[in-house]
Structure 1
Amino acid sequence: MRISVRPIVGVVRALLLSCLAASAPWATATNPVTEIATGDIPKGTLGLGFGWRFGNSPYRGIDDISSKETEQDSDLLPFYFYEGKYLFSHGSAAGVHLIDTGGFTVDALIAYRFDRLEPERDDFFAGVEEREQSLDGGLRGSVTGDWGKVSLTWLTDTLDRHNGEEIDLTYRFTWVGEKWTISPFASYVHWDASLTDYYYGVSAGEARDDLPVYRPGASTTWRAGVNTSYRMSKRLRLFANLSVDRLDDVVADSPLVDEDWLPATTIGLAYAFGNVLDDRQSGRRDAEREGEWSWRVNYGYTAEETFHTVHRGQLKRSDDVHTYLAGLTLSKLALDGKRLDVWGRVSVNRRLENDLQDDFWEINPYIMLMGAGYSPWSNRELFRYGFGYGFSYADSVPIVEQVKQEKRDRDTSHFLNYLEATVDFPLRNLFGDRGWWRHCYSGLTLVHRSGIFGRVDILGNVSGGSDVVTGHLECKR
């Protein structure tokens, strides 16, 4: 069994540490082609979406950016969007606003590096070591004016893959129209010798008659591109991004490479569910619910069946392992809709592994859609039902996922998609309206981690996951 700790591990770890304390084609981790143009999106907005990433590989005999794990010529890219006062997530980049004066910002950020070489994809690379995707972290300073925006970004490896550094100088100008946002950009990107050598060098151990030793020095890339988005409605927008890289001769001369120019495209859609910072932007219908939030505690066991089967009532305990989960969830109302409420949520869970491995922490930021059922006679609330979607980072891979994936000879990942389904009942219907429980609910929550059919690089191209059945108590404030 291969337990693959994919590069995205560091992304959520960095975000978690930041919370507790207070984008890209082949050529670089900071290419805005995998980000959404956000010129007219208010701070506090919660959004989800997905896109398809297309592009050329620089490596000989490999024509696309897909993985050996899939049979596609593209990569599916989920978008978890948030622009907050301190935290942000814009597609393949996320981080913390350290300084924000309006015209000048300094951010600490992490960015997924999509560069990779999988030798299995072409016989020419027999005997060549794999060049893995990674996660870079660093700082970005930006100056903004009527003339546009200039950003300087420094990134370094956080996973000891390439152990190199990148400097990116980008200028962009953004036009925001009634429905269109158009933002062209131009970049100068510098890779140090370590980063260039990792992806494009040839070691003595890899060399052969038709593949000589090659030790490149530092390299530079010139890039031009444009981010566009079209607002189809108040909440739904389409986006299409394009970039073209001109590779340095230092890279183009590598015996691993047969390209000089690298185009890349990302297309997709995103939906804004609400706003957790500004009630004026959230479409609040009931003024009395302004600032509403909740806490929830839950505890339960690992289930045998898959999410959709458990959802239909198959609550059997796992046959493979007997492990448990205890969690705390904090929620902020983003939108009190006519039929559904939208909540921004973060759950912190403790995975109790029953001595099969050390217990560990898990964090799950997600968006929850919550509806309610009412009595036809009294209009009294009888129950709530909710469905949540986001991402999950586990400090260790749950043992149940290791066992299940080993049976299927599949990879695992610390970072996966997160799904949640919940049904609960107001305690005031049982105990009356007087007491601490009058705004509390009790019921069941199904917790689910998985990949997306093995199609997503950021999720380690994992197919499979785990499910937990829990009981919960939630109280609104």
Structure 2
Amino acid sequence: MYRIFVVFLVLILPITPVMADEPCQENGDCVVVGEWDISIAFGYGNKTNPITDYDDIPLYVIPSIAYYGESWFFDNFNFGYTLTEQESFTINLATSYSDERAFFYRWDPSNIFLPQSANVDAHTDLPTIGGFGIQDVSQPIVLNELESRNFTVYGGAELFWYGRFGVLKLAAAHDLLNVHNGQEVNVSWNYSLAISDWRFDFTLKSEWKSSEVIDYYYGVRASENAYWSEEYQPDSGWSSAVELTTRYSLSARWDLLIAARYTQLADEIIDSPIINEDYSSSYFVGAAYRF
């Protein structure tokens, strides 16, 4: 029900076009075209890990590096090219990396850089019948050591629609490195509110992952458990997330930062024998310095 609500809200929200080329303000709202934007946040945070027997992921330092030219752009090691930029929308070709591998490897890029939705406005200047996973079972599932889940890069198209009530993003991407040959579709809505020295960014996101993506990262290899490698055969599924980032400006370069994210995993992911939670959450509290 929650995932359906998120998609419904994003798609029916009234959007009123606004100017996409408004000048940047000196409060970190956007990235100035032709200039590098580099910032780093120091503090403490935690990202819960739904993978069985895997530790939660601590967050201490979060960098952000971006450069936007007239057409080409670089954003936290993702690259893109703007096909068209109008007053009310922008269409890009862009790369991205999935956050699935982050649960398996501490130093995955998704555990280092801020969520991409936090930069959504940059270019304008989260064996039982009928289920497995966390379901109660009479006997515990015994798995051997999990094999490697490789990193991959996605490539595809994204649309940003700028409205009075926020920014709508639609994106579709395919695995470029043939790691699993899967696809992802992202639908999100971001709303920003500035009150004096405070800035609030609220995001609702719903993300579809193909069966190839879910099976590669959450499926069971024969070496891990022969029975479950045959029993668990996932379909595609939708995960949903809600994010809130709050910033308080101390000066032109320093901000206090509080960020939180909650992701409700897709039912197909929850059914995996290697999953022991139906969600993942994260938070970060600290200070950010913009160079």
What's the TM-score, normalizing by structure 2? 0.67
Deviations 1:29-51 (Å, cap 9, x if unpaired)? xxxxxxxx953554444332234
The percentage of counterpart residues that share the same residue type is 24
Q: Is 1:64 aligned to 2:56, yes or no?
A: yes
What secondary structure, in the 3-state scheme, does the structure 2 residue paired with 1:254 have?
A: coil
- Provide the residue aligned with 2:82 in structure 1: 97
- Structure 1: give runs of 5+ residues left out of the alignment: 1-36, 66-72, 274-477
Q: Is 1:234 aligned to 2:252, yes or no?
A: yes
Matches within 5 A, 1:207-356: 207-208=225-226, 213-266=231-284, 269-273=287-291
User: 1:152 Cα shift?
Assistant: 0.2
Contact 1:143 1:150 in 2 (8 A): yes
- Provide the residue aligned with 1:8 in structure 2: none
Q: Kindly report the root-mean-square deviation, in angstroms, between the aligned alpha carbons of the 2 structures.
A: 3.0
- Provide the residue aligned with 1:153 in structure 2: 171
What secondary structure, in the 3-state scheme, does the structure 2 residue paired with 1:134 have?
A: coil
**Structure 2: distance between partners of 1:136 and 1:164:** 9
> How has the CA–CA distance of structure 1 residues 155 and 83 changed in structure 2, closer, same or farther, with 3 Å as cutoff?
same
- Provide the residue aligned with 2:98 in structure 1: 113
> What letter matches 1:169 in structure 2?
V
Q: Is 1:39 aligned to 2:29, yes or no?
A: yes
What secondary structure, in the 3-state scheme, does the structure 2 residue paired with 1:245 have?
A: strand
Contact 1:53 1:76 in 2 (8 A): no
> How has the CA–CA distance of structure 1 residues 179 and 108 changed in structure 2, closer, same or farther, with 3 Å as cutoff?
farther
User: 1:188 Cα shift?
Assistant: 1.3
**Structure 2: distance between partners of 1:207 and 1:101:** 52
Q: Is 1:55 aligned to 2:47, yes or no?
A: yes
- Provide the residue aligned with 1:327 in structure 2: none
Contact 1:50 1:268 in 2 (8 A): no
> What letter matches 1:262 in structure 2?
S
- Provide the residue aligned with 1:194 in structure 2: 212
What secondary structure, in the 3-state scheme, does the structure 2 residue paired with 1:126 have?
A: coil
- Provide the residue aligned with 2:126 in structure 1: none
What secondary structure, in the 3-state scheme, does the structure 2 residue paired with 1:113 have?
A: coil
Could you tell me which of 148, 157, 167 is aligned with 2:185? 167
- Structure 2: give runs of 5+ residues left out of the alignment: 1-26, 106-141
What's the TM-score, normalizing by structure 1? 0.43
Greater radius of gyration (CA): 1
What secondary structure, in the 3-state scheme, does the structure 1 residue paired with 2:277 have?
A: coil
User: 1:241 Cα shift?
Assistant: 2.5
**Structure 1: distance between partners of 2:183 and 2:259:** 25
| Structure having greater relative contact order (Cα 8 Å, sep ≥ 6) | 2
> What letter matches 1:251 in structure 2?
I
> How has the CA–CA distance of structure 1 residues 86 and 167 changed in structure 2, closer, same or farther, with 3 Å as cutoff?
same
- Provide the residue aligned with 2:128 in structure 1: none
Deviations 1:352-372 (Å, cap 9, x if unpaired)? xxxxxxxxxxxxxxxxxxxxx
